[in-house]
Structure 1
């Protein structure tokens, strides 16, 4: 087997991540022919085909998948090495890859991340906004923002803020269908159900007589987007269970009314999550603290 070049391995990772020779060519300012030749050189050195190439897309062979998984670890190790020494310079430098759900991004963290980038102009940020549950280790992310309990022992979580939720409906719905006085009244109402990847049964959590109380709700409308539930509630289509932060203005204006306030038991923590194997460096700690302060300010505004 011929000796392969480490730079070709890193270029292979870029090609897989971008899904295109042309995008790598533009992003890294090298010609497409050079990208193609270096990938071909790597395949020749390893004596395996790594990519299936068509005019429309690239896909990985089994050998390519195996190499990519290990090469990502090597790429991250190089990035970590750079990050360790970057804190000794006068400027904060490096790259941070982040993933977070849509509602959290829209709530405050999009703006907070922009402010962070303005404050630290030499830090590169790559943000992926998705409601999909992302395996941050396998997919090479430095940080995830999540609003769920941490179960994976290979991850470390830092609680940023508690997210308080509200059961709500429009005045028109309550006038037509009546106002629930107890959680047990909800099964007779049309509920707007938040369903996301990994979510359990259609149960809503309350506190009755000091203990957790689960109610199974029913409804024809289910979605993985909290904003869609908000719009359904505003339209008078049903009862929603939503974070107070995203309906604050509508509650103040009277477009929505909170109900069952004395029984509310849903309070999810918003966490910054990172791999246990990668202790956060200075720039990542700064970003997490920046997010925490932004969310705390937002919560105080809504309380």
Structure 2
């Protein structure tokens, strides 16, 4: 490819950013009222100007080359800066508008946030929300998310976080399991029990965070069922298949009804913060601040489910 005489055009770079986020030329063409051929030609013009291939094109999907990844990370920041400049002006008016791309854990989405986001969009009809519910730890900068809800011990210094609420975890089992296998009372007792192990991306070894007095413990556990879906482990516990270590929010109703019984309460050592997280590369605009506040109020209104 030859370098374009005048370099890459800014509007072509922004168009490229839209294509990456939409995942197809046709979607962008429809949104921007352009033809597919015009979008394709402008991306080709950008690649020629930069002397680099940015996208791999197939009949099913688009994927980024290494050069495309670098450009997207930078161009998205430029797009956000433009959006923030617009927000600085439109914020003086009555309208709150724009799109928010958000990721969150499945449990949070099912229990509280789906309804919260629906109410938020009803309150601000000119704001759209693109929601992704998944348990993996998403790279929100690389994948272009504006906001993430995370239940974790946060260590990433490239992210800014606002604590929303704490999530207490509970060791539990069904009455059937306890009748057949007895009640574990001490951390060491777990070696004699079938534990339902939650394994997720980056989780490492099968250890449960427990405590004895002021001492923090990491107890190795094992069992016949291991999975990355908390709802499935909860169902296994309800069916009497083992001892589970689950967030209270997931089993609150089951504890009240007696379908599950908490055990070893004095040894539970897992209490995680739930955070609203966004990249340091952008300041949270009014839309994101309003959504975060909606989410925080939703959590606090049901705090008895969490701890």
Distance in 1 (alpha carbons) for counterparts of 2:218 and 2:84:
45
Given the alignment of the two structures, is residue 35 of structure 1 paired with residue 39 of structure 2, yes or no?
A: yes
1:188 CA displacement? 0.8
1:78-89 equivalent positions in 2, closer than 5 A: 78-89=82-93
Q: Which segments of 5 or more consecutive residues in structure 2 lack a partner in the other structure?
A: none
Given the alignment of the two structures, is residue 70 of structure 1 paired with residue 74 of structure 2, yes or no?
A: yes
Given the alignment of the two structures, is residue 280 of structure 1 paired with residue 284 of structure 2, yes or no?
A: yes
Name 1:49's counterpart in structure 2.
53
Distance in 1 (alpha carbons) for counterparts of 2:69 and 2:284:
27
1:101-120 equivalent positions in 2, closer than 5 A: 101-120=105-124
1:48 CA displacement? 3.7
Distance in 2 (alpha carbons) for counterparts of 1:133 and 1:203:
19
**Pairs aligned (count):** 303
1:301 CA displacement? 5.5
1:177 CA displacement? 1.1
Distance in 2 (alpha carbons) for counterparts of 1:207 and 1:56:
51
- TM norm structure 2: 0.91
Q: Choose from 190, 193, 205 the match for 2:197.
A: 193
1:246-285 equivalent positions in 2, closer than 5 A: 246-285=250-289
- TM norm structure 1: 0.92
Q: Is the CA contact (8 Å cut-off) linking 1:2 and 1:46 kept in structure 2?
A: no
Name 1:121's counterpart in structure 2.
125
Name 2:161's counterpart in structure 1.
157
Distance in 2 (alpha carbons) for counterparts of 1:177 and 1:65:
53
Q: Which segments of 5 or more consecutive residues in structure 1 lack a partner in the other structure?
A: none
Distance in 1 (alpha carbons) for counterparts of 2:197 and 2:182:
19
